[in-house]
Amino acid sequence: MSQKISLTRYLVEQQRVDGHIPSQLRLLIEVVARACKSVSQAVNKGALGGVLGTAGSENVQGEVQKKLDIIANEVLIEANEWGGHLAAMASEEMDSIYVVPNRYPQGEYLLLFDPLDGSSNIDVNVSIGTIFSVLKKPAGEAGVQEKDFLQAGKCQVAAGYCIYGPQTTLVLTVGDGVAMFTLDREQGSFVLVQEHMKIPEDTKEFAINMSNMRHWDAPVKRYIDECLAGAEGPRGKDFNMRWIASMVADVHRILTRGGVFMYPWDRREPNKPGKLRLMYEANPMGWLVEQAGGAATNGKQRILDIQPEKLHERVSVILGSRNEVERVASYHSAV
């Protein structure tokens, strides 16, 4: 790419030429990107910024919060509450929705995020990220309530993540393919590095936490057993395994070179449908993967078709290279 295209220019052109994004949505995405730059700086400072370690509190899911979980949550709220583009926000780190205070104008969008995904990797200097999903507030009623957020993933109007790794990279969809931007620290702006990302349909790489194998259901066990059997098994080829324990990092690899990612339901907590959260993890990642030609399912249903019943609802997730995801889904329908 000879001429550098900034995120701002990309969004202006999406707005002007293709009519994909209204100006308020463009503003929203730019504000989220700016917040991600601040989070990136805090992540980079690490121990020097006093940001590592636990905060001594738990979130609504009963998970211990890290200092950076809370810092990233505050950065996203403070950046987004005053611009007039949002009605309310919801986050993995907040029990209930955060309605834009009365002193600011209220917009028509709803923003959901996991402010710092992959928290177990914060203190060990491994890639982590921010995941976000944007919905439109249903028209008609005044005010905003939690039920306004309970829309299926197919209703998203923008989704993306920012990965804080060797590079800070923002990956975005507004429903016209997936674009990737890397943070140019000298310029202080995100620069387009790839448009129309495509996930290969086939892969020889899978990502799953193998330590949970004894708790899995039969279809997932069958799929992984066949991968592990390699060239001598029914698949007739050797597979490679990767598990970063940061969904952003695993999905980023899959968007870049293919693969299949799974965090299935398991017997450890049989009443929960899975570990990952539907509305601010599976839905945005599912849409990005679909926009890049891949697929995302809970084994029985397309992720984006699931009607959420709760803000912090969990879901079983299988996503990535289309043919592999369809194979895992077919093993589910065979039982």
What residue is closest to ligand AHM based on CB? 247
Q: Which residues bind Mg ion (CB under 5 A)?
A: 114, 117
Residues 182 and 193: their CA atoms lie apart, in Å, by 7
Name the minimum Å distance from CB 107 to ligand AHM: 27
Q: Which is nearer to Mg ion, 114 or 148 (CB)?
A: 114
Tokens 């060990």 sit on residue: 124
Name the minimum Å distance from CB 305 to Mg ion: 22
Instruction: Quote the radius of gyration of the chain (alpha carbons, Å).
Output: 19
Is residue 245 a contact residue for ligand AHM (CB under 6 A)? yes
Q: If you count them, how many residues does the chain have?
A: 335
Is residue 209 a contact residue for ligand AHM (CB under 6 A)? yes
Q: Are 300 and 294 in contact (CB under 8 A)?
A: no
Q: Which two tokens stand for residue 101?
A: 């205070």
Q: Which is nearer to ligand AHM, 275 or 322 (CB)?
A: 275
Name the minimum Å distance from CB 281 to Mg ion: 5
Question: Which amino acid makes up residue 66?
Answer: K
Is residue 247 a contact residue for ligand AHM (CB under 6 A)? yes
Tokens 């599976």 sit on residue: 282
Sites for ligand AHM among residues 80-119 (CB under 6 A):
92, 114, 117-119
Quick one: which H or E segment has residue 327?
A: helix 322-333
Q: What is the DSSP letter of 334?
A: T
Handedness of CA 34, 36, 40, 46 (dihedral sign): positive
Count residues near ligand AHM (CB under 6 A): 13
Is residue 120 a contact residue for ligand AHM (CB under 6 A)? yes
Is residue 126 a contact residue for ligand AHM (CB under 6 A)? no
Sites for ligand AHM among residues 256-285 (CB under 6 A):
263, 275
Residues 234 and 231: their CA atoms lie apart, in Å, by 8
Residues 165 and 191: their CA atoms lie apart, in Å, by 16
By a kind-dependent CB cut-off of 5 to 8 A, residue 306 interacts, out of Mg ion, ligand AHM, none, with none
Chain contacts with ligand AHM (rule: CB under 6 A): 63, 92, 114, 117-120, 209, 245-247, 263, 275
